[in-house]
């Protein structure tokens, strides 16, 4: 990638941005031409095949976050999101972090979990023992249910059992059989559901119970990605505060988000601003990622911050984020949606593990930007500056009026729709 083409990207016009991405080698000539012609949408025919009662496409703005260095590789990160300031914040944070070496990531094996949960078993401990003693037979029946994933080197790799009570008591009611499945490049929901439906009759036979549920778990605790960054205090100072004060404030703010769920939810929402935008852009199932991430934030029994910010011996700020990331680079709508295809191309056609590294790094960048702003100048200055354009459009501004209204709105005491309408009405007076 020739990053010199991408300098001051945000200052370029729409056409210049597309040209720069092409010149830098981030997108090819065909993708550049499609972008120039505004051709990123699904065809009606494809949309009609994708969902039921299809009427039209519902668009989201698609853009790119800049300045990311992840595991020593420069990356341009595609995002689909309606909220202003997320891309700016990610790019800002990534620039500071890049200047101190970028993000380092570690990705676990990609094992997804499937569950067959049975009811009506008289002797649950004995049934659990029977299932465990038939582990190899169950694994091979699971793999026979989806031979193509086995040919790709994946498939059911392990199994365990859990006894579940119908309430919070200690006395169990249900038996849950877990398969740990390597779904390779796919997120794997459909693959796993096929496996679980495939083994359920055999497990019913073994336990004399009834399989009530046969589906993947979206709590993918064996598909984790961690991103880390180290930022010297010299990169943290603001006009108001010295670097070590900003570092300590970021650490303290994260301590609050670790103990207080009211703060933790907002703290983690900020992380997901970036993560979801990339998950959506790459055609992945954001509901699955969201559900798993928030369960993971509660794994201690209390909902807590997903990031950790500490200082090392040199006094640098060190950030870490671990997320469960059940995403794929194939399957679902990834190969169908033109926007998702472009997003994968912008990322250089990453493997699922590489995409996990990007997602964890984007989440960490987003969190750094948000917490840094919160503990220094406050979040509204940057956010409302960018939100002003949305307010101008809502007020009815068109073309060059949008920026003019937004510029005046930034100076107004109240930055709201009424103020934007007022400015628009008086624009040329
Ligand atoms: P698919 O059903 O599309 O399956 C992925 C397919 O990709 C496989 O069947 C496989 O084909 C093919 N493939 C090609 N190359 C590879 C490779 N290198 N590694 C792995 N597979 C490869 O998608 P998923 O099973 O991933 O399921 C994801 C979809 O399921 C999403 O759309 C999600 O929204 C949805 N879903 C989610 C649920 C949930 O989260 N609770 C529940 C139900 C559905 P082949 O057969 O040739 O191996």
pLDDT digits (tens, 9 = 90+) for 201-214: 999 999 999 999 99
53-57, 261-265, 407-411: the lowest-pLDDT one: 407-411
- Distance from C-alpha of 324 to C-alpha of 295, rounded to nearest angstrom: 9
- Distance from C-alpha of 239 to C-alpha of 254, rounded to nearest angstrom: 22
428 vs 116 pLDDT, higher one: 116
Task: Label residue 169 by pLDDT band (50, 70, 90).
Answer: confident
Q: Do 209 and 117 form a contact (C-beta atoms < 8 A)?
A: no
For 38, residues 6+ apart whose C-beta sits below 8 A from its C-beta are: none
Write out pLDDT tens, residues 356-397: 999 999 999 999 999 999 999 877 776 666 678 888 888 898
Which DSSP state fits 306? S
Q: Do 402 and 393 form a contact (C-beta atoms < 8 A)?
A: yes
**CATH level 2 (architecture), domain 111-217:** 2-Layer Sandwich (3.30)
Domain span(s) for CATH 1.10.8 in the chain: 382-425
Domain span(s) for CATH 3.90.770.10 in the chain: 40-108+223-378
Q: What is the pTM of this model?
A: 0.92
pLDDT at 99: 93
Q: 50 CA distance to ligand 1 centroid (A)?
A: 14
Assign domain 382-425 to a CATH class. Answer: mainly alpha
> Which of 150, 332, 344, 351 to mutate for ligand 1's pocket (most ligand atoms within 8 Å of CB)?
332
Residues annotated as catalytic are 83, 269, 285, 383
pLDDT at 2: 83
Write out pLDDT tens, residues 61-76: 999 999 999 999 999 9
What is the CATH code for 40-108+223-378?
3.90.770.10
State which H helix or E strand residue 114 sits in.
strand 111-119
Write out pLDDT tens, residues 111-127: 999 999 999 999 999 99
pLDDT at 170: 81
Atom 1 (ligand 1) nearest CA: 331
């Amino acid at each position: 990638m020739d990053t010199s083409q991408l300098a001051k990207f945000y200052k370029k016009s729409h056409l210049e941005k597309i040209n720069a991405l092409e010149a830098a080698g981030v997108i090819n000539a065909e993708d550049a031409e499609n972008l120039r012609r505004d051709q990123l949408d699904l065809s009606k025919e494809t949309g009609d095949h994708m969902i039921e009662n299809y009427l039209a496409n519902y668009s989201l703005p698609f853009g790119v976050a800049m300045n990311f260095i992840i595991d020593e590789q420069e990356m341009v990160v595609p995002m689909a999101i309606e909220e202003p300031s997320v891309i700016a914040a990610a790019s800002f944070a990534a620039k500071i972090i890049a200047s101190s070496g970028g993000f380092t990531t570690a990705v676990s094996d990609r094992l997804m979990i499937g569950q067959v949960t049975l009811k009506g078993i008289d002797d649950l401990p004995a049934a659990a023992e029977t299932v465990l003693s038939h582990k190899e037979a169950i694994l091979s029946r699971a793999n026979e249910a989806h031979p193509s994933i086995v040919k790709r080197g994946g498939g059911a790799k392990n199994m365990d059992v859990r006894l579940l009570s119908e309430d919070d008591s200690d006395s169990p009611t249900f038996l849950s059989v877990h398969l740990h499945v390597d779904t390779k490049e796919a997120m794997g929901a459909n693959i796993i559901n096929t496996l679980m439906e495939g083994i359920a009759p055999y497990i019913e036979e073994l336990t004399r119970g009834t399989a009530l549920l046969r589906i993947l778990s979206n709590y993918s605790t064996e598909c984790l990605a961690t991103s880390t960054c180290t930022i010297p205090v010299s990169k943290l100072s603001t006009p108001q505060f010295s670097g070590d004060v900003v570092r300590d404030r970021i650490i303290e703010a994260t301590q609050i988000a670790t103990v207080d769920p009211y703060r933790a939810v907002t703290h983690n929402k900020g992380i997901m601003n970036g993560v979801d935008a990339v998950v959506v852009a790459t055609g992945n199932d954001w509901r699955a990622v969201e559900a798993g991430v928030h369960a993971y934030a509660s794994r201690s029994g209390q909902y807590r911050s997903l990031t950790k910010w500490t200082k090392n011996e040199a006094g640098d700020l060190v950030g870490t984020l671990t997320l469960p990331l059940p995403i794929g680079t194939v399957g679902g709508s990834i190969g169908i949606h033109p926007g998702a295809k472009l997003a994968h191309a912008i990322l250089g056609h990453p493997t699922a593990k590489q995409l996990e590294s990007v997602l964890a790094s984007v989440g960490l960048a987003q969190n750094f930007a948000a917490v840094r702003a919160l503990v220094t100048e406050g979040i509204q200055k940057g956010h409302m500056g960018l939100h002003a354009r949305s307010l101008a459009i809502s007020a009815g501004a068109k073309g060059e009026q949008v920026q003019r209204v937004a510029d005046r709105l930034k100076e107004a005491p109240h930055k709201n729709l009424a103020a934007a309408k007022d400015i628009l009405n008086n624009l040329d007076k």
